[in-house]
Amino acid sequence: MKNYLEFEKEIKTLEEEMDSLKNPGNESLSEVDTSKIKSTQDEINSKLKSVYTNLNSWQKTQVARHEDRPRANYYIKTIFDNFTPLSGDRFFGDDLSVTAGFGQIKKKSVLVIGQEKGEDLNTRIEKNFGMMSPEGYRKCIRLMQLANRFKIPIVTFIDTPGAYPGIGAEQRGQASAIAHSIECCMSLNVPNISIIIGEGGSGGAIALASSNKVIMLENSIYSVISPEGCASILWRDPGKSLDAAEAMKLTAQDLLKLGVIDEIIEEPVGGAHRNHEEVAQNVKNIILQNLKYFDNMSSEEIYEHRKNKFLKIGRGGGFNKTSLDGQAGLEYNEPIFSKFNRFFSQNRYLYLAIGAALIVTIISLLN
């Protein structure tokens, strides 16, 4: 049975009509009306295109969380050959909310890591709704270090509301595990590519998405906190989730403009949940393109690429190595507009006084 979101009511009505038309055993139909089926399908496609090209941030959040959206395990089974899962962190146990192992794509070996929410209630409970525990992050660290040793690229699928906040996870060092996972991702000498396939929430996502390339599906989200959590903190009202979602700039389109992510993968009309095969093929093509991009880079160049990418976020011109003799480290190149804006802000009262004097002089001359 299909699941529909609140803004898909008209689409639901049309698809129910379509099912009725395709069933010749319906009381009001004696045979299949192919022309009516075609016109109804065209109307559904038109309505899907109209609705999904005008989604607000909160609606995109709902699409990113859609129950029928393909999960990490689907992408792993569809895209990679000879996938061999590996388990355990060698300290405490195995975390079922993350699938990790080695596989091949176009005969090229890769380490694949996928945060897994589950497909139905039983598997969602088993996978802890995609919320990873410390042992999950430690498992990923262990395998990333192994991949780095053997010069194997890393592909991660991000889909989590955040790291598991339970007391047991805190007792086993949740914060430390996330920090070490980020550190491991940033220190790799092999390319790592992260694809946000649904919900990328909080440090639970960043722990595995500190990558050379961060790519999002068209209707996925990526944020430091959920819109409901943000609304509860700022307005003490979870009902203001739409306002929070708009303010947080958590959509793929907003994050691409801000330079937080590198690329957007187009979804089928009506979202990834309507055509799993098409979106999986799009994801596969993007992975192959980005792996090829790093083919001719040395280990040091791959490391520098990742470092400079994150140093540039929110910094305009970013940081460069200083060219001054006798000085080591980085220097910040401030953009021209930023310099002008800062200079004007520091001397605004002087400029206001000069402006007022000019206005008075002009008025007196005219009189």
Average pLDDT for residues 221-239, to the nearest whole number?
91
Question: What's the pLDDT score for residue 14?
Answer: 87
Could you say which of 236, 268, 296 is where a domain stops? 296
The CATH number of the domain where 201 resides is what? 3.90.226.10
pLDDT-based confidence at 78, cuts 50/70/90? very high
Who has greater pLDDT, 129 or 341?
129
Of residues 14 and 328, the one with the higher pLDDT is 14
When mean pLDDT is compared across 70-79, 196-205, 330-339, the lowest value belongs to 330-339
User: Does one domain contain both 156 and 22?
Assistant: no
- Asked if 143 and 113 count as a contact pair (C-beta separation under 8 A), the reply is yes
Q: How far is CA 4 from CA 69, 84, 124, 236, 274, in A?
A: 12, 35, 19, 29, 11
Q: How far is Cα 310 from Cα 330, in angstroms, rounded to an integer?
A: 14
Contacts of 340 (CB under 8 A, 6+ apart): none
pLDDT digits (tens, 9 = 90+) for 89-102: 998 999 999 999 99
E strands in 117-191: 154-160
Q: Which of 98, 134, 96 is nearest to 115 (CA)?
A: 98
- Does a structural domain hold residue 253? yes
How confident is the model over 106-132, as pLDDT tens digits?
999 999 999 999 888 899 999 999 999
Q: What residues does 264 pair with on adjacent strands?
A: 216
In this structure, what are the phi and psi dihedrals at residue 132, rounded to the nearest 5 degrees?
A: -80, 150
Distances (CA, A) of 187 to 17, 51, 111, 142: 55, 42, 16, 13
Round the average pLDDT of the chain to a whole number and report it: 88
Same domain flag for 250 and 145: yes
Predicted confidence (pLDDT) per residue in 161-218, tens digit: 999 999 999 999 999 999 999 999 999 999 999 999 999 998 999 999 999 999 999 9
Least confident window among 5-14, 314-323, 354-363:
314-323
Instruction: Identify the pLDDT of residue 169.
Output: 93
Give the domain extent around 176.
Answer: 63-296
pLDDT reported for residue 302: 96
- One domain for residues 141 and 233: yes
Q: Which one-letter amino acid corresponds to residue 140? A: C
Co-location of 108 and 168 in the same domain: yes
49 and 70, same domain (yes or no): no
- Closest by CA to 241, choosing from 260, 225, 265, is 225
Q: Which 8-state DSSP code applies to residue 273? A: G
Q: Which of 26-30, 151-155, 316-320 has the highest mean pLDDT?
A: 151-155
10 and 145: one domain? no
Mean pLDDT along residues 215-225: 95
Query: Which residues lie closer than 8 Å to 269 by C-beta, 6 or more apart?
Result: 45, 48, 49, 52
Co-location of 255 and 345 in the same domain: no
Q: What confidence tier does 330 reach under pLDDT thresholds 50, 70, 90?
A: low
| 234 and 357 fall within a common domain | no
138 shares its domain with 231: yes
* Residue 26 resides in a domain: yes
Instruction: Identify the pLDDT of residue 331.
Output: 54
Is the pLDDT reported for residue 6 higher than 90?
Answer: no
Q: Are residues 164 and 33 in the same domain?
A: no
Interval 260-312: pLDDT, tens: 999 999 999 899 999 999 999 999 999 999 999 999 999 999 999 999 999 88
102 contacts: CB under 8 Å, gap ≥ 6: 83, 84, 86, 109, 110, 111, 112, 147, 152
Mean pLDDT of 333-351: 69
pLDDT band at 323 (very low <50, low <70, confident <90, very high): very low
Instruction: Answer yes or no: is 308 within a domain.
Output: no
194 shares its domain with 98? yes
Residue 132 lies in a domain: yes
One domain for residues 284 and 343: no
Does some domain include residue 124? yes
Average pLDDT over residues 325-330: 52
Burial class (CB in 10 A: 0-12, 13-18, 19+), 59: buried
Structure confidence at residue 346 (pLDDT): 72
**Helix 241-248 × helix 57-64 angle, to 10°:** 90
For residue 317, pLDDT beyond 70: no
- Confirm if 235 and 245 have CB atoms less than 8 A apart: no
Separation CA 16–CA 219 (nearest Å): 25
Number of domains in the chain: 3
Q: Is the pLDDT score of 83 beyond 70?
A: yes
Per-residue pLDDT, 199: 94
> Which pair of tokens denotes residue 119?
């497909």
Question: Is residue 324, in this structure, part of any structural domain at all?
Answer: no
